[in-house]
Amino acid sequence: MLIVSDVHAAFSELAAVAALGEPLLVLGDLLNFVDYRTGQGIAADVYGREHALEFIRNRKTGDWEANRRLWRRTLAGREEEMAARTRREVLDQYEAARKALAGSEAYVIFGNVDWPEEMRAGLEGAARFVDGEVVEIEGFSVGFAGGGVPTPARARGEVPHEVMAEKLEALGEVDILCTHAAPSVAPLHRDVITGVEERSSPVVLDYLAAYRPRYHYFGDIHQPQAHTWRVGGTLCRNVGYFRATARAVSHPPAPAASEIR
């Protein structure tokens, strides 16, 4: 099977991977609201390039209050118009994702920037939305738990820790755990480009300690200090950042170089 995450509107590249004919696991963040490298995305298309660049500057410094002021200033008096334009862009991107995945055996969960209900509806007929499900794939039991961790951004795809814990507990024992969120292991959620320890999921780490799946695949952190790590008996692997790499990870992965217990 092939696994990707953080597609962020790289749909031509996603179509090329889907055409390879293997089961394809897509671990969230299909939408591209803003590319922190280039400024491209829905934010620039709807609100303007200067808005997107200011948003990026504030995001890199962690100034969430500045970004809240930015949104209020940009939207003032145009809230309904901007909401409608944003929704149209979101639906268009999910339609492009549906076309990219059509005809493949694809399994999809949502990430923090995704709109879960719009994703589910938009991909119907082209991919299986598998949040909170266990699926048998190529002889492995694969558990899926979508959603990002809570942040001050309050994005639609963020999931409270207690909700994520309930989803994971309901999965029970599996061979492979697939999430969007990274476990709370510092090298796996420290971004080496920004120098920031991004938010991560302590409840995913708790699940790994309790249930010890053989593998854990995830995304979210675009430039992690470590792509692989061993947590007890589980080999963890960050399979993103697909928008930048256009590469899928094959299962099983290469052995991890490090281990924590």
- What pLDDT is stored for residue 108 in this prediction? 98
Q: For residue 138, is pLDDT > 80?
A: yes
Measuring CA to CA, which residue among 2, 53, 3, 1 is closest to residue 180? 3
CATH at 15: 3.60.21.10
Q: For residue 249, is pLDDT > 90?
A: yes
Percent of the chain with pLDDT over 70: 97
Q: For residue 257, is pLDDT > 60?
A: no
- What pLDDT is stored for residue 261 in this prediction? 40
* pLDDT tens-digit map of 173-214: 999 999 999 999 999 999 888 777 889 999 999 999 999 999
Q: For residue 258, is pLDDT > 80?
A: no
In DSSP terms, which residues pair with 4 in a beta bridge?
Answer: 26
User: Are 236 and 208 in contact, with CB atoms under 8 Å apart?
Assistant: yes
Average pLDDT over residues 83-111: 97
d(CA 241, CA 6): 5
What are the CA-CA distances from residue 155 to residues 12, 59, 88, 130, 163 (Å)?
26, 13, 17, 20, 15
Q: Does residue 118 belong to any structural domain of this protein?
A: yes
SS3 of residue 208 by DSSP: helix
Average pLDDT over residues 219-247: 96
- What pLDDT is stored for residue 255 in this prediction? 53
- What pLDDT is stored for residue 253 in this prediction? 63
| Mean residue pLDDT across the chain | 93
Percent of the chain with pLDDT over 90: 82
- What pLDDT is stored for residue 134 in this prediction? 98
Domain that holds residue 244: 2-32+91-260
Average pLDDT over residues 230-253: 94
Q: Does residue 45 belong to any structural domain of this protein?
A: no
Confidence of residue 71 (pLDDT cuts 50, 70, 90): confident
* pLDDT tens-digit map of 104-118: 999 999 999 999 999
Cβ neighbours of 72 (radius 10 Å): 10
The count of domains in the chain is: 1
Point out the least confidently predicted range of 58-72, 125-139, 216-230.
58-72
Q: Does residue 168 belong to any structural domain of this protein?
A: yes
Torsion of CA 177, 179, 181, 182, to 10 degrees: 30
Q: Does residue 59 belong to any structural domain of this protein?
A: no
Q: For residue 259, is pLDDT > 50?
A: no
Give this prediction's pTM. 0.92
Q: Does residue 37 belong to any structural domain of this protein?
A: no
Tokens of 90: 């979101």
Confidence of residue 254 (pLDDT cuts 50, 70, 90): low
| Longest CA–CA separation in the chain, Å | 55
Q: Does residue 73 belong to any structural domain of this protein?
A: no
Tokens of 76: 């003032």
- What pLDDT is stored for residue 252 in this prediction? 82
* pLDDT tens-digit map of 13-58: 999 999 999 999 999 999 999 998 899 999 999 999 999 999 888 8
Q: What does the DSSP assignment read for 164-205?
A: HHHHHHHH-S-SEEEESSPBS-HHHHEETTTTEE---BHHHH
